[in-house]
Amino acid sequence: MRWALVKVCVAVTTMVVVAFAVPLGLVIKEMARDRAFSNAERQAAAIAPALSITTDRDELERVVASAGSDDGIAVHIPAGDGTKAADIGRRRAAAEDIETTRRLGRASTTEVPGGSALLQPTALSSGAIAVVEVYVPESDVSNGVGTAWAVLAGVGIALIVGSVAVADRLGVRMVQPAQRLVEGAHELGEGKLGARVREEGPTELRLAAAAFNSMADQVVQLLANERELAADLSHRLRTPLTVLRLNAASLGEGPAAEQTRTAVAQLEREVDTIIRTAREAKPQTVAAGPGAGCDAAEVVRERMEFWSALAEDEGRKWRVAGIDRPVRIPVARADLAAALDALLGNVFRHTAEGTAFAVDVHNGEDAVIVLVSDAGPGIADPDAAMARGRGSGSDGSTGLGLDIVRRLAESTGGDVRIGSSVLGGTEVRIWFQLDGRAPVRRGHRGSVRRRRSGRLVSTFNRPRSLP
């Protein structure tokens, strides 16, 4: 496209230059010729008064000498009564041309060696017709024509070069965005989901780039949603799997019990494989739309009702605080439930039986804090635990649980911190921003500056069966 545009501009500019320069050059040539012959006519006219007064050769030679230069003027006097024909000055024109001019009685020009001659008839006092010959060299006829043509050629070449430069710049402005669009499409086709195109260039190319970027965003979002759905659904299976594993552990000895424990372990490995596969590409979280949200206190009560039965079977003490009044947060109910199940599932999975845990909800003016703490051994490296993809270790953790919690908090502008709890183990603090602003850096490793602490209500487990 770039070279095609340059060729078109060169062709159009060349046609314009030729259309104007050629006629203008011919006009300049004709003007130079007219100027040269006009000067010759003036020289011939300067001899006419003397010829009308006298035909004396000596007088006429003085007049010719004073009017002409470089022997360029000649006077041809015809023979009269008692006089012979006389030629004053150097004659260059043929005798036939001189006689023709004398007979016709009008000026004419004729070609002579080295240029042209102007033949001007003039009446003498005797009534005869003399002919004044003025020599016009070729150099006078073409004087200044070459320079004018050179100037015209230079201007034409400059116009063509300028049009090439302008066309090239316009071509670059059009071609580069198109090339970037092609490269972005190739990169997206090769699986580089971060490929985007700058929206610049002509209007049509900007619209095409905007449409490409929108399409790429939709592709990334669809793939992310698909992976997240697979990962989240697989991780939510961890909750019933944890219950099955703990129930299987209480079956005692025997072939049936051993087979049940083996099947549960195999199922856990398969779920872990699904989770790790779904996490190969980092998904994106879509924030809840306007009006979305849930009552965190209600969700905590619901999930604690489920986990409390399992805690009773393992002899764990637990408490919940801050759920005596509604606490609205801008996240979906199912997402908050999944995050709580992930954290509480980690407590049951990675701490010994009988380890106490607690869930606290703190409602502030611009944020809501949910604390999940336990009395277990704690986490040696909180940064590694929060790093996505680094959670797989000897304990069989996939690291997706904390990542689900982190993404949920960050969708509101909040964050997640891991630190030491007052129970002596791990404390996971989830900060939900209520106004959608970026989170303010707070404390170190999970320390929280509470605006308004909730009233802690200790509730000890009562015997019940698992649902």
Angle between helices 57-67 and 2-53 (to 10 degrees): 150
* CATH number of the CATH domain containing 394: 3.30.565.10
| Sign of CA pseudo-dihedral 263, 268, 273, 278 | positive
pTM value is 0.40
Q: Which of 146, 176, 210 is the last residue of a domain?
A: 146
User: Which pLDDT does position 368 carry in this prediction?
Assistant: 94
pLDDT at 428 over 90: yes
**Mean pLDDT of all residues in the chain?**
77
Mean pLDDT of the 275-286 span? 51
Mean pLDDT of the 121-150 span? 83
| Per-residue confidence band for 53, with pLDDT thresholds at 50, 70 and 90 | confident
Does residue 98 lie in a domain region? yes
Query: Pick the residue with more confidence: 176 or 413?
Result: 413
Q: Which of 146, 168, 190 is the last residue of a domain?
A: 146
The letter for the amino acid at 55 is T
| Per-residue confidence band for 455, with pLDDT thresholds at 50, 70 and 90 | very low
Q: Exposed/middle/buried for 432, CB within 10 Å: 0-12, 13-18, 19+?
A: buried
**Tokens 């004044």 sit on residue:** 132
d(CA 411, CA 224): 15
Per the structure, the complete domain to which residue 352 belongs is given by: 288-457
User: Which pLDDT does position 393 carry in this prediction?
Assistant: 44
Query: Pick the residue with more confidence: 466 or 61?
Result: 61
Mean pLDDT of the 49-56 span? 72
Q: What is the pLDDT of residues 353-387, one digit of tens each?
A: 899 999 999 998 889 999 999 999 888 888 777 76
Does residue 186 lie in a domain region? no
Q: What is the pLDDT of residues 169-197, one digit of tens each?
A: 777 777 778 888 888 888 888 877 778 88
d(CA 190, CA 235): 30
Nearest to 134 by CA among 84, 189, 61, 68: 68
Does residue 202 lie in a domain region? no
d(CA 223, CA 273): 19
Mean pLDDT of the 236-254 span? 71
d(CA 49, CA 67): 12
Strand order in the sheet with 318-321: 415-420, 426-433, 367-374, 357-363, 318-321, 456-457
* CATH number of the CATH domain containing 99: 3.30.450
The letter for the amino acid at 315 is G
Does residue 273 lie in a domain region? no
Q: Which of 90, 125, 146 is the last residue of a domain?
A: 146
Nearest to 38 by CA among 94, 111, 100, 120: 120
Least confident of 89-98, 174-183, 319-328, 386-395: 386-395
Q: How many structural domains is the chain composed of?
A: 2
Does residue 268 lie in a domain region? no
